[in-house]
Amino acid sequence: MYTIGRLAQDTGCKVQTIRYYEEIGVMPPPDRSKGNQRLYERSHMHRLLFIRHSRELGFPLDTIRQLLNLTDNPSQPCETVTRTARAHLAEVNSRIVGLQNVKLELERMISQCDGGRQMSECRIIEVLSTSDK
């Protein structure tokens, strides 16, 4: 059995995060000691590590909830999980393209300004002040 502090330490999650996950239902409520202290089992740790790793990969909590529901029914085919992962990968690829465009724009702005001008002549400020929209 683990206390919430020990579970937090062993998984790298904050105590507040664990409580939040319980509150929103992605972590099942733990048993309680006679003194009303939360007592977690090994299954809680595995579930929390699953949630944490999924969050690190950028999955939203609603998707993680869906994935956890699927893992709670292990006899189902994993087709839904594969579709979910592919959709998330497509979103990540889209964000990468967007970030590459931001990078190019920043590089272009910086290349137009040598830093030796007055603020009133700064090309970066000028570009930031104008919008194509």
Domain residue ranges in the chain:
1-58
- pLDDT in the model for residue 40: 96
Helix (H, G, I), strand (E, B) or coil at 54: helix
Mean pLDDT of 54-79: 93
Residue 23 has pLDDT above 90, yes or no: yes
- pLDDT in the model for residue 133: 58
Q: Which of the four pLDDT bands, split at 50, 70 and 90, describes residue 132? A: low
Helix (H, G, I), strand (E, B) or coil at 39: strand
Whole-model pTM: value is 0.79
Average pLDDT along the chain:
92
* Residue carrying structure tokens 């994935």: 67
Residue 81's Cβ-count burial label (10 Å; 0-12, 13-18, 19+) is middle
- pLDDT in the model for residue 121: 80
* CA–CA distance, 80 with 62 (Å, rounded to integer): 14
Q: Which of the four pLDDT bands, split at 50, 70 and 90, describes residue 124? A: confident
Phi, psi of 34 (to 5 degrees): -60, -30
Residue 45 has pLDDT above 90, yes or no: yes
The gap from C-alpha 95 to its chain's centroid, in whole angstroms, comes to 14
Mean pLDDT of 51-72: 95
Phi, psi of 124 (to 5 degrees): -65, -45
Mean pLDDT of 73-85: 91
Residue 45's Cβ-count burial label (10 Å; 0-12, 13-18, 19+) is middle
CATH architecture of the domain formed by 1-58? Orthogonal Bundle (1.10)
